[in-house]
Amino acid sequence: MADIGFIGLGNMGAALVRRLMREHTLHVWDLNRAAVEVLVAEGAVAANGPGDIGASGVEMVITCLPTSAQVEEVLFEDDGLAANLAEGTLVADMTTGDTMITKQLAARLAEQGISMIDAPVSGGVVGAEQGTIAIMVGGTEDLFARARPIFETVSPNVFHAGDIGAGHAMKVINNMISSCIRLATFEGLALATKVGIEPMRFAEILSKGAARGFVADTTLPKYVIPGRQEQGFGLALMYKDLSLATQLGQDLKAPLTTGNYAREVFRRALNELGEDVDITQIVRLFERGADVDVCAAQEAADKAD
């Protein structure tokens, strides 16, 4: 059993804390005090800020914040984490963050004898709750070995991606690829509907062919076709991940023709559909483009049966 600090108790952070609390003592902090109180009622220890967590003698501090900007803030604000952590403490950033900024943060912490790894997750809040989420770690072999048993109390799917920043890179590249597949599949769905193929039949056949994958066998039949239901991941969050991936491409002079295209389609979707909509809603762009209504087409097919 370890004492662990945790900063960022949003949708993902709270789910991770609940898994960790099954074996460890969690010292928690979030700007949203209600989020702190909910977890304290479940057994966590309340902290009064990042500095308080740093001074509480924890052996590891986990951050799960919207972006690397907030991670930098909690680490290096006046009397923040870095100013209060004991030498030898490990900081693990589970934010979907920026590879280049994370490398800089790790170098600054190293000057104080504090180690850092990045460990973003993929699999959504449900994956975290069910203990199946993938955790992709960037950092030295030694730090990975040190953090692994703690991460395994969240999920057995813990991977060492490479050196510091590699976890973030792996995560945003994964999401860039899944976004490109999503757009191509939705475009195909709109065309198939226009041609008169029943949407569920389209998904069924697609999931057995060369274009099969998560979007074909889960997103379409479970979320999109039965009424554009929420998948639990915001369009804006995915736009953030696409922006991180394409920025990384720019930083490293690696052309990302398809990734940059996908990012711009997501930008258009945010402008047209709103900043707070679920990722499933992006199908509307393709429905409007082809002048079809996938859900209505499926309903009509069901009635005709």
Q: What residues are annotated to the active site?
A: 171
**Of the candidate residues 6, 21, 82, 95, the single one contacting ligand NDP (CB under 6 A):** 95
Measure CA 216 to chain center.
21
Touching ligand NDP, residues 201-260 (CB under 6 A): 232-233, 237
11 binds ligand NDP (CB under 6 A): yes
8 binds ligand NDP (CB under 6 A): yes
Smallest separation (angstroms) from ligand NDP to the CB of 76 = 11
89 binds ligand NDP (CB under 6 A): no
**Of the candidate residues 6, 17, 21, 30, the single one contacting ligand NDP (CB under 6 A):** 30
The pairing of strands 121-122 and 134-138 is: antiparallel
**Of the candidate residues 73, 152, 187, 293, the single one contacting ligand NDP (CB under 6 A):** 73
Q: What is the 3-state secondary structure (H, E, C) of the chain?
A: CCEEEEECCCHHHHHHHHHHCCCCEEEEECCCHHHHHHHHHCCCEECCCHHHHHCCCCCEEEECCCCHHHHHHHHHCCCCHHHHCCCCCEEEECCCCCHHHHHHHHHHHHCCCCEEEECCEECHHHHHHHCCCEEEEECCHHHHHHHHHHHCCCCCCEEEEECCCHHHHHHHHHHHHHHHHHHHHHHHHHHHHHHCCCHHHHHHHHCCCCCCCHHHHHHHHHHHCCCCCCCCCEHHHHHHHHHHHHHHHHHCCCCCHHHHHHHHHHHHHHHHHCCCCEHHHHHHHHHHHHCCCHHHHHHHHHHHC
The pairing of strands 45-46 and 25-29 is: parallel
Site for ligand NDP (CB under 6 A): how many residues?
Answer: 25
Print the binding letters for residues 121-160 with ligand NDP: x by CB under 6 A, - otherwise: x--xx-----------------------------------
Smallest separation (angstroms) from ligand NDP to the CB of 30 = 4
**Of the candidate residues 21, 28, 35, 85, the single one contacting ligand NDP (CB under 6 A):** 35
Smallest separation (angstroms) from ligand NDP to the CB of 67 = 6
**Of the candidate residues 12, 20, 53, 270, the single one contacting ligand NDP (CB under 6 A):** 12
**Of the candidate residues 70, 84, 258, 281, the single one contacting ligand NDP (CB under 6 A):** 70
**Of the candidate residues 5, 13, 138, 167, the single one contacting ligand NDP (CB under 6 A):** 13
Do 128 and 121 contact (CB within 8 A), yes or no? yes
Region near ligand NDP per CB under 6 A, out of 39-47, 52-60, 68-76, 251-259: 68-76
Nearer to ligand NDP, 207 or 218 (CB): 218
Q: Which of 48, 65, 86 is nearest to 10 (CA)?
A: 65
Nearer to ligand NDP, 30 or 287 (CB): 30
Region near ligand NDP per CB under 6 A, out of 60-68, 83-91, 189-197, 277-285: 60-68
By CB under 6 A, name the binding residues for ligand NDP: 7-13, 30-32, 35, 64-66, 70, 73-74, 95-96, 121, 124-125, 232-233, 237
